Amino acid sequence: MASKVRVYAKSQKWAALGIVDAYLKMYPHATLEDINKAFPRNLFVQTEDNLGLFVTMEEKAKMAQSTTTDFDDNQLEEWKRTKFYLTMTDGTEIAFTVPMWTKEMFEKITEQAKLYDIEIAKYEAAEKGAGKRGEYTLEYLNGYVPPVPAKKGMPKWLLALIAVLGLAVVALLLWLLLGKKAEPQIVEVEKVVVVHDTLYIQQIAEIEKNFNAAQFEQGKADLNEEAKFVLHDLAKVLNAHTDIKLTIKGHTSAEGDAAFNQKLSEARAKAAVDFLVEREGVAVEQLSYAGMGSSELKNADNPMAPENRRTEFIIE
């Protein structure tokens, strides 16, 4: 897949911070748990604890009070002074739980970033001296525009309901006040139609495209690691919107045996559903799957075309 974000930075540690900030720009509603799942700490350092790669600044301060090694007060104050931390969409400030980035650790986070279409430019050396700090900048590539976080507020359907009830109350008061002095007034209320949130529709469309880019091995239905990361993003949307009903449809080209293609397309769709339910905690009631084989070709003029081999995420 083509890169969506490029990180320019001064020093390895600022490049690492920039990578995670790029992830937050791409997934503005990601939680701290999501970040630690996307960039697991045990990938970079050998550890037996359950500590994530990031903690809140409040947790970081408590750790600084309890040790004089990795999380000492001087380091914490230095990180605050240079703003070496990230601010999430909800305003939570988070910081690394690793004190420094070695060459080996940096190479690993660079590889991990590629799973999310993030690339790192060659970083520059950080400036030395009192008051100096590293820095990073992000560049969006290939026409990519990061999503804008949805503003919190009263849901549109609730506002519409309040408006309807308000009109009904006004009509009732008029009827009570006027009584027999006037003919009953008929208040015709416009029907309110609540549509699906276009934001998550766009998100699911993007996830579908990314899932199709994470190719299955030929003739197999096993999910690769890239496909699992994409399904993790889909699970976040489904768990946040439990009213969504989604059907996953598997399709093949007309190449090969039709009966085998039918079973294979069904097995691939089922593998995605099983992963979402068993590994990501999505409610089974939200999901269904179907294998279509080569019965619904996207390119009927060329039945063997690769675009016929696809998976569709259909919102019911």
Place of tokens 């109350």: 169
- Please list the pLDDT of the chain residue by residue as tens digits (316 residues): 688 999 998 788 889 999 999 999 999 888 999 999 999 998 888 876 788 999 999 998 888 787 655 555 677 788 888 888 999 988 999 999 887 788 899 899 999 999 999 999 876 654 544 334 557 888 988 888 888 775 555 565 666 677 777 777 877 777 777 654 445 444 444 433 333 445 677 788 888 887 777 777 777 888 888 888 888 888 888 888 888 898 999 888 888 888 888 998 899 889 999 999 998 899 999 999 998 888 888 888 888 888 878 888 888 7
> Which CATH number, 3.30.1330.60, 3.40.50.10490, 1.10.3720.10, 3.40.50.2000, labels domain 198-315?
3.30.1330.60
Q: How far apart are CA 109 and CA 140, in angstroms?
A: 19
Q: What is the pLDDT of residue 286?
A: 92
Q: What is the pLDDT of residue 69?
A: 53
Handedness of CA 168, 174, 176, 180 (dihedral sign): negative
Give the DSSP letter of residue 284. G
E strands present in the chain: 5-9, 54-56, 86-87, 93-96, 118-120, 136-140, 246-251, 287-291, 310-315
Range list for CATH 3.30.1330.60 in the chain: 198-315
Residues 6 or more apart whose CB falls under 8 angstroms from that of 39 comprise 19, 20, 23, 53, 54, 109, 112
Q: What is the pLDDT of residue 185?
A: 47
pTM here is: 0.49
